[in-house]
Every structure is written in structure tokens, then in C-alpha cells.
């Protein structure tokens, strides 16, 4: 897996891209836009699990709630079902604004996830910008290789609304660089190559 992979509305994953090393992170439902399947548990790539566990433990050590993966890997087909459901409900254009097109969701990579909390054994999905956990993640996640993927004020660059809950693994070095420069992955590629990559193929992913 190329941890620096850029997946967005202009850079789609192929429909057959599936991470090969998915592991279940906990026993909650992989909850997304009311599309529920009790058999579909939150999963991420095993290769980033140690980094996630280290971050989770550091948050606990800082006296915060347990941070858990609320929704990790989502297959292409899953995103398609969700997207088509939105198209039925609100039409194609509105659906495009509200939910990622199949292939354009980072959740298909297995190295992106939405967080929730376990608070004294109780699952807590709701997050707020004032939560100490959200503030801590924003300032510390890069030390473990993660970035807040859709920051406030960068909506026009990422193409997504601010999502305080969505984190993405890019590796410690790149995450630290992006944090220090206060830039998104899109801006990183623009600076690096003059323009964003046009398309990431499955072969490139497996470098």
C-alpha cells in the first residue's frame, strides 16, 4: 500500500481495489448514513493497526476517552449502494454533494476511518469540536502517522466539508510534514508535482 495515495473526486480507486490485510478493530457496527449491517464490523488495514493502537493508548494515557474506529473500510459496492440510495432520495446533484461517489471514498483504501468514543464501555458516536479528544487528535495524531483529512477552511481544496471525525494514515514523516506546513494531501501533491495525480491504478497502489 502506498500510504501517500491520493483518493478524492478527481482521483478514483478502481472498483476492484480491495486491501488485502483488513482486520476488525472492534465489535460495533460499521455505521454510515443509516446504512446498517450488523455483520459488517469496522475494519482497517492490519499494517496501520499498531499506529492506531499507539494513538488510542496515548489518548487514554492523556486521560481522554477511548478513541475507536467507528467506520473504517467500505467496499466499492457498499459506497455504490449508499450513493444510489441518496440519488433515489435527493437526486444525483445533491447526492454528489452529500456522499462520495463510488471509487472516490478514502474508506475504500482501508487506511482511512471515522472515529467515535467508548465512554466507560458505552459507545458514543456523537463528536463535537469542543471535545478534548477532537482537540487532542488534531494536535497529536501526526505523531502516529495520521492526518485530519478534511480540515475546516480547506473545503474548496479537498472538495469535502469539514469532518472532525475522519482520519487518514499517511505515515509519520508525511503526517508531520503536512501538520507543520498546515497543508492537505491535495496541496502536498500540487506543490510536489505541479498538479495532482490524475488517476491511481491498482498496480500503483501495491508498490
- Contact pick of 41, 164, 166, 168 for Zn ion (by CB under 5 A): 166
How many whole angstroms separate alpha carbon 38 and alpha carbon 60?
A: 27
For Zn ion, give the closer residue by CB, 73 or 144: 73
Least Å from the CB of residue 42 to Zn ion: 11
**Residue 160 or 179 with smaller CB distance to Zn ion:** 160
Give, for 168, the enclosing helix (H) or strand (E). Answer: strand 166-169
Handedness of CA 39, 123, 175, 168 (dihedral sign): positive
Cα–Cα distance for residue pair 206/147, rounded to 1 Å: 21
For residue 94, indicate whether it is catalytic. no
74 binds Zn ion (CB under 5 A): no
Q: Are 161 and 129 in contact (CB under 8 A)?
A: no
Candidate ranges 33-41, 115-123, 151-159, 165-173; the one touching Zn ion (CB under 5 A): 165-173
The size of the interface with Zn ion (CB under 5 A), counted in residues, is 2
Query: By CB under 5 A, is residue 186 in contact with Zn ion?
Result: no
CA angle 83, 87, 93 (to 5 degrees): 100
Active-site choice (139, 163, 187, 203): 163
Tell whether residue 114 is a contact of Zn ion (CB under 5 A): yes
Are the beta carbons of 6 and 94 closer than 8 angstroms?
A: no
Q: Enumerate the active-site residues.
A: 163
- Binding region for Zn ion (CB under 5 A): 114, 166
Amino acid at each position: 500500500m502506498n500510504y501517500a495515495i491520493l483518493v478524492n473526486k478527481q482521483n478514483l480507486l478502481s472498483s476492484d481495489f480491495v486491501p488485502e490485510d483488513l482486520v476488525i478493530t472492534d465489535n460495533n457496527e460499521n455505521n454510515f448514513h443509516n446504512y446498517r449491517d450488523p455483520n459488517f464490523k469496522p475494519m482497517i488495514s492490519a499494517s496501520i493497526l499498531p499506529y492506531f493502537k499507539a494513538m488510542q493508548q496515548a489518548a487514554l494515557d492523556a486521560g481522554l476517552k477511548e478513541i475507536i474506529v467507528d467506520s473504517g473500510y467500505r467496499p466499492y459496492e457498499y459506497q455504490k449502494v449508499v450513493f444510489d440510495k441518496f440519488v433515489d432520495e435527493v437526486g444525483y446533484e445533491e447526492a454528489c454533494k452529500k456522499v462520495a461517489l463510488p471509487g472516490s471514498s478514502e474508506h475504500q483504501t482501508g487506511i482511512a476511518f471515522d472515529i467515535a468514543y467508548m465512554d466507560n464501555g458505552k459507545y458514543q458516536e456523537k463528536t463535537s469540536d469542543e471535545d478534548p479528544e477532537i482537540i487532542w487528535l488534531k494536535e497529536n495524531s501526526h505523531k502516529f502517522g495520521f492526518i485530519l483529512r478534511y480540515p475546516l477552511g480547506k473545503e474548496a481544496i479537498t472538495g469535502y466539508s469539514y469532518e472532525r471525525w475522519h482520519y487518514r494514515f499517511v505515515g509519520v514523516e508525511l503526517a508531520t510534514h503536512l501538520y507543520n506546513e498546515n497543508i492537505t494531501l491535495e496541496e502536498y501533491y500540487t506543490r510536489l508535482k505541479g498538479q495532482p495525480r490524475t488517476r491511481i491504478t491498482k498496480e500503483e497502489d501495491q508498490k
